[in-house]
Amino acid sequence: MTNFGSDVLIIGAGMSGLTAARILTDAGKRVVVVDKGRNVGGRLATRRIGEGQADHGAQFFTVRDAIFRTYVDRWIKDGLVFEWSRGWSDGSLVETRDGHPRYAVRGGMNALARILADGLDVRPGVEISAVHRISDGWQAEDINGRHFTAEGLIMTAPAPQTLALLDAGKVPLEGEDRAALEAIRFDPCVTGMFLIDGEASLPQPGAIQRPGAQIAWIADNKRKGIASKTLLTAQANPNYSRVLWDRRDDEIINSMRIDLMPFIGENTRILEGEIKRWRYALPTQLHPEPTLIAQNLPLLAFGGDAFGQPRIEGAFLSGWATGEAIRDLLG
């Protein structure tokens, strides 16, 4: 019997990987979570710009499920999460607010990931390059040649990245499982962050959502409470993101500046502008179940927001289901 580094290795310290880690740790399992990012959180991402912070991945979240509700209620009670809005204006005179609460995180969305990671064995800055099946477990290798062994393996990176790791280690996936992972699709999102000298004219509570427009989302992080000066997050819609994708950052900043003019005025100075390209921003073709357990390969499971629902709550529920499944299989 191999002496494993942990009972379960989890690739990805986003919402789904951290949730799975919590379930398994609470069940007494030894869990190691690795992530290639410098920080935990994945798409729960907040960046410092000037003296403020900008959420540049997920902007808010909604709650439908009862288990997630109990967590969110606790986070609200602890002062971590607050209700930000009950829907967004699209800038027209038509009322588009639907009355459902949208929640945000004090200190930025990434603060939620940091709370979830608290007390877990999470190792940021570890980029896995291949996973291998070893006699009675799994071994993952990172780009610096370090090895991580475990009896069980949970993979939560977006499906194309997960498939690349499996293929690099020649893991013999069953055809049905491979087809399920290959069917998952994501839209990209080019996101700009702009620190501006002045105010932005955005409807309450400081954000606008216009799925049909080139810039589909604009939010002011100052009015969200995480910046002291006007600091905008602007998301290009999927088609515009594809158009912008290969342009240089300064070109994208310039294009987005023109798109933002109706909201910031022509003469407003942009003090700082940064661009983030999310290749796998939101899943558009989902796996119908919250988790996928590999057939004929012991203790290998897949999760993430492409399993079930394409949003933070979906990533949480997938992490939950994947953690429980591996916990039950480990016995």
Q: Say if residue 266 is exposed, middle or buried (CB neighbours under 10 Å; 0-12, 13-18, 19+).
A: exposed
Closer of 17 and 152 to ligand FAD (Cβ): 17
Q: Is the dihedral of CA 204, 205, 210, 215 positive or negative?
A: positive
Q: How far apart are CA 164 and CA 181, in angstroms?
A: 11
Q: Which of the ranges 126-134, 174-182, 193-201, 250-258 carries the binding residues for ligand FAD, by CB under 6 A?
A: 126-134
Task: Give the binding-site size for ligand FAD (rule: CB under 6 A).
Answer: 37
Q: How far apart are CA 270 and CA 204, in angstroms?
A: 22
Contact call for residue 184 and ligand FAD (CB under 6 A): no
Contact call for residue 189 and ligand FAD (CB under 6 A): yes
Interface characters, 223-242, with ligand FAD (x: CB under 6 A) = ------------x-------
List, in sequence order, every residue forming a beta bridge with 195; answer none if it has no partner.
Answer: 231, 272
Token output for 205: 């509570």
Q: How far apart are CA 68 and CA 83, in angstroms?
A: 15
Q: What SS3 state is found at 63?
A: coil
Interface characters, 70-109, with ligand FAD (x: CB under 6 A) = ----------------------------------------
Q: How far apart are CA 304 and CA 282, in angstroms?
A: 11
Q: Shortest approach of ligand FAD to residue 138 CB, angstroms?
A: 14
Helix axes 15-26, 110-117, angle to 10 degrees: 20
Contact call for residue 187 and ligand FAD (CB under 6 A): no
Contact call for residue 150 and ligand FAD (CB under 6 A): no
Contact call for residue 31 and ligand FAD (CB under 6 A): no
Residue from the set 46, 59, 230, 268 that interacts with ligand FAD by CB under 6 A = 59
Residue from the set 8, 9, 10, 13 that interacts with ligand FAD by CB under 6 A = 13
Alpha helices, H only, the chain = 15-26, 66-77, 110-117, 159-168, 175-183, 221-224, 238-244, 249-264, 312-330
Beta pairing, strands 185-197 & 269-285: antiparallel
Closer of 65 and 199 to ligand FAD (Cβ): 65
CB-CB neighbours of 287 under 10 Å: 20
Q: Shortest approach of ligand FAD to residue 113 CB, angstroms?
A: 8
Residue from the set 282, 286, 293, 330 that interacts with ligand FAD by CB under 6 A = 282
List, in sequence order, every residue forming a beta bridge with 190; answer none if it has no partner.
Answer: 277
Contact call for residue 35 and ligand FAD (CB under 6 A): yes
Contact call for residue 305 and ligand FAD (CB under 6 A): yes
Contact call for residue 33 and ligand FAD (CB under 6 A): no
Catalog residues that contact ligand FAD under the rule CB under 6 A: 11-17, 34-37, 42-44, 57-61, 126-128, 156-157, 161, 165, 189, 191, 235, 278, 281-282, 304-305, 311-312, 315
